[in-house]
């Protein structure tokens, strides 16, 4: 497994570089071919390459879900080389989530019967899955369980609750003018976007766990020109759908303070919340099958598991590597945890595949299997 993780980590795959993602997909495909004995389907959406393995003649009943893209730009291996030292594996994307991809393939390879299993490895998760979301939702629709190979929470906890995510871009259109000669003839988009930043930040509700954070900001062209355009990105995280809808309505209702400026809103709701009830029965099963105590966690980050849980499909997340430092300089995987976590995934998959639909874990709508949807 360490050798396989090294192979994937050394094939860099930033989400915004479709050529790099395509090379990574071929590397994952070769690994899957060796372990599973068959080639995956290559699903290319607007230039982005995803991989899918399906086993059996019927619709999928268990989906192993992961991604092979990372946030790390090409060349990151020069500053963050792959290494294993003192039981700690390091390298760009190892924790989030190339180790999880390897774990999924090894767990599937160890199954005595794969009938009803699907494995979907996407190539654009780190940018919000704009191209793979339909594939994910279609693949999950008939499933009794979705197991997400995202990295664990602190201490190896499984992720049984995730915040929903919305992303917006507030674009302000003003009017340029010379900043020294006649600034009064301009409409300052920078000042207007500052008003809008304060307005959206006020939508946060700490008591409900709702965060509304203005992030990337641009305005103007030169130091002596009144800015004609400005733009700010806004990141929203919420625990429940009602809050997500409230913030969405408020953002779309923003009006300019300067009547001569114009505002355009782009973006919207990206991922619904992953509610604990979508994970409860699968987490109980994992506790039963685990070799030792198993913790659960609620986290602010989202994953593709939010999509499947939003459909009402039982979803258990954070089944991937134990370690830390996702997206950060200290990204790492604890090697000693790899075998046990992979064995837990194998047991979970085998158990759900062996169940009849009538006794499968109920989904978030209270339905009890593929035959009920």
**pLDDT single digits (tens) 128-177:** 999 999 999 999 999 999 999 999 999 999 999 999 999 999 999 999 99
Quickly state the pLDDT bin for 116 (edges 50, 70, 90): very high
The Cα 212–Cα 189 span in angstroms is 21
Q: What 8-state DSSP symbol labels residue 14? A: B
Average pLDDT, the chain: 95
Strand order in the sheet with 332-334: 83-85, 88-90, 332-334, 323-324
pLDDT average, residue stretch 41-55: 98
Place of tokens 């995803």: 50
Residue range 116-127: average pLDDT?
97
Q: Which pLDDT score, from 0 to 100, does residue 370 have?
A: 41
Nearest by Cα to 11 from 120, 102, 109: 102
The C-alpha atoms of residue 76 and residue 90 are separated, in whole angstroms, by 12
Question: φ and ψ at 259, to 5 degrees?
Answer: -65, -15
pLDDT of 372 higher than 70: no
Give yes or no for residue 357 having a pLDDT over 70.
no
Plot region of 56 (φ>0 → left; ψ -120 to 50 → alpha; else → beta): left
Q: Using DSSP bridges, classify how beta strands 164-173 and 262-271 pair: parallel, antiparallel or unpaired.
A: antiparallel
Q: Burial letters for 18-54: b for 16+ Cβ neighbours within 10 Å, e otherwise?
A: bebbbebbebbbebbeebbeeebeebebeebbbbbbb
Question: How far, CA to CA in Å, does 206 sit from each of 161, 239, 243, 249, 295?
Answer: 18, 11, 12, 19, 25
Residue 299 contacts residue 159 (beta carbons within 8 Å): yes
Quote the CA–CA distance of 113 and 56 in Å, as a whole number.
Answer: 9
Q: Note the pLDDT of residue 54.
A: 98
Which two tokens mark 7? Answer: 């192979």
From the candidates 4, 69, 96, 304, give the one annotated as an active-site residue. 69
Instruction: Confirm whether 83 is a catalytic residue.
Output: no
Would you say residue 363 has pLDDT above 90? no
Q: What is the C-alpha separation between 293 and 134, in angstroms, rounded?
A: 36
Q: Give the residue-averaged pLDDT of 84-105.
A: 98
For residue 30, pLDDT over 60 is answered with yes
From the list 201, 202, 178, 198, the residue with the least C-alpha distance to 188 is: 178
**Residue 21 CA to chain centroid, in angstroms?**
16
| Domains of the chain, earliest start first | 2-162+273-372 (3.40.630.10), 164-271 (3.30.70.360)
Please give the Cα distance from 310 to 271 (Å, whole number): 8
Residue 217's pLDDT band, with cuts at 50, 70 and 90, is very high
What is the rounded distance in angstroms from the CA atom of residue 204 to the CA atom of residue 166?
A: 13
- Of 4, 124, 125, 331, the active-site residue reads 125
Evaluated on CA atoms 272, 274, 276, 280, the torsion sign reads positive
| CA 356 and chain centroid, separation | 30
125 is a catalytic site residue: yes
pLDDT of residue 361: 52
Given a cut of 90, whether residue 58 has pLDDT beyond it is yes
Q: What is the pTM of this model?
A: 0.90
Contact in structure between 153 and 318 (CB atoms under 8 Å): yes
Asked if 369 and 82 touch (Cβ cutoff 8 Å), the reply is: no
Q: Which of 19-23, 248-252, 366-370 has the lowest mean pLDDT?
A: 366-370
Secondary structure class of 197 (helix, strand, coil): helix
How does pLDDT run across 188-207, given as a tens digit for each residue?
Answer: 999 999 999 999 999 999 99
Strand 83-85 to strand 88-90: parallel, antiparallel, or no bridges (unpaired)? antiparallel
Which has the closest alpha carbon to 306: 159, 142, 206?
A: 159
With contact defined as beta carbons under 8 Å apart, do 355 and 144 qualify? yes
Alpha helices in 37-122 (DSSP H): 76-79, 99-109
Confidence band for 238, pLDDT divided at 50, 70 and 90:
very high
3-state secondary structure of 32: helix
| Residue 36, pLDDT above cutoff 90 | yes
């Amino acid at each position: 497994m360490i050798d396989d993780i090294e192979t994937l980590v050394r094939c860099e795959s930033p989400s915004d570089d479709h050529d790099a993602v395509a090379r990574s997909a071929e590397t994952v495909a070769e690994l899957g071919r060796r372990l599973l004995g068959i080639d995956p389907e290559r699903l290319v959406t607007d230039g982005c390459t995803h991989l899918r393995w399906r086993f059996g003649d019927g619709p999928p009943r268990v989906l192993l879900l992961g991604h092979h893209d990372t946030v790390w730009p090409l060349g990151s291996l020069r500053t963050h080389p792959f290494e294993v030292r003192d039981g700690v594996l390091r390298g760009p994307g190892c924790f989030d989530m190339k180790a999880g991809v390897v774990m999924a393939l090894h767990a599937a390879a160890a199954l005595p019967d794969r009938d009803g299993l699907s494995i979907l490895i996407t190539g654009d998760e780190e940018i919000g899955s704009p191209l793979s979301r339909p594939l994910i939702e279609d693949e999950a629709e008939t499933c009794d369980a979705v197991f997400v190979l995202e990295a664990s929470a602190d201490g190896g906890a499984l992720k049984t609750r995730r915040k929903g995510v919305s992303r917006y871009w507030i674009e302000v259109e003003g009017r340029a003018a010379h900043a020294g000669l006649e600034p009064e003839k301009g409409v300052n988009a920078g000042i207007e976007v500052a008003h809008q930043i304060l307005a959206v930040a006020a939508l946060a509700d700490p008591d409900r766990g709702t965060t509304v954070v203005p992030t990337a900001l641009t305005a103007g062209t030169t130091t002596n020109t009144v800015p004609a355009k400005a733009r700010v990105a806004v990141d929203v995280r919420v625990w429940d759908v009602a809050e997500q809808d409230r913030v969405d309505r408020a953002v779309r209702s923003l009006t300019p303070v300067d009547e001569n400026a114009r505002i355009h809103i782009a973006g919207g709701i990206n991922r619904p919340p992953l509610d604990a009830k979508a994970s409860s029965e699968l987490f109980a099963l994992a506790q039963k099958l685990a070799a030792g105590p198993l913790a659960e966690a609620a986290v602010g980050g989202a994953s593709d598991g939010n999509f499947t849980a939003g459909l009402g499909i039982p979803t258990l997340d954070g089944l991937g590597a134990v370690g830390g430092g996702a997206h950060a300089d200290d990204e790492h995987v604890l090697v000693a945890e790899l075998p046990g976590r992979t064995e837990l995934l194998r047991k979970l998959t085998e158990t759900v595949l062996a169940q009849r639909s009538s006794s499968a874990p109920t989904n978030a709508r209270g339905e009890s299997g593929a035959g009920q949807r």
